[in-house]
Amino acid sequence: MTLLTTWPESGPETVVRRTSEPGEIAAALAPLGVRYEQWPVRDDVPADADSDTVLTAYRAEIDRLTAAEGFATVDVVALHPSDDPGFAGKAKAAREKFLEEHTHDDDDEVRFFVAGSGIFYLHVDGEVHAVLCERGDLLGVPRGTTHWFDMGTRPAFTAIRFFHEEDGWIGSFTGSGISRRFPDFDTIAAQYAEYAEYAEYPA
């Protein structure tokens, strides 16, 4: 279940919106220029599948989006828990790279979640929108949009990335520190099951 939570940029004390309905999420994000779609998932693609397997499985969807949007490169990024002693350090470094608010001046940030989850935080027009993306979700953040991404302290995800520019991911950091004032991935994930239960069995 995907989850959208919106707060005023002043802080998370007041929840402006919280919904898990895909149509409501898409409608709320569209005025921001943010693309939200759900693609059919491939049950025969394991969470830790290699890049070639992932790209082959989703070739039809990749080709459709690439043709429509003119993407120059497509690749796969993955990070999953491991018994490797170096995993904790690798995960921490990867998380910290994206955790501070930034923009992309020359490209959109478009991701499709093949497996696992992560949260994109969009800071637009005086509000912060936290989009918890899971398997089957595609999110497209327009260039110039201030945002950050949190994969949690123990990342577990595989995602397809789309780029218009061959240089790939280049961020311009704002230095605002706003990301530290809002609930992180682990906090929202801990609340996730409680909200999912309420959404399924409302009072």
Buried/exposed code over 118-143 (b: 16+ C-beta within 10 A; e: otherwise): bbbbbbbeeebbbbbbbbbbbbbbbe
Annotated binding site for Fe(2+): 102, 104, 109, 147
Q: What is d(CA 104, CA 124) in angstroms, rounded to the nearest whole number?
A: 14
Q: What is d(CA 30, CA 107) in angstroms, rounded to the nearest whole number?
A: 18
Annotated binding site for Ni(2+): 102, 104, 109, 147
C-beta atoms surrounding 97 within 10 Å: 13
Q: Which residue has the tokens 């497509």?
A: 74
Annotated binding site: 102, 104, 109, 147
How far does CA 198 lie from the centroid of its chain? 23
Q: Please check whether residue 112 is in contact with residue 58, taking contact to mean a CB–CB distance below 8 angstroms.
A: yes
Helix, strand, coil % in the chain, rounded to nearest 5 = 30, 30, 35
Q: What is d(CA 23, CA 181) in angstroms, rounded to the nearest whole number?
A: 28
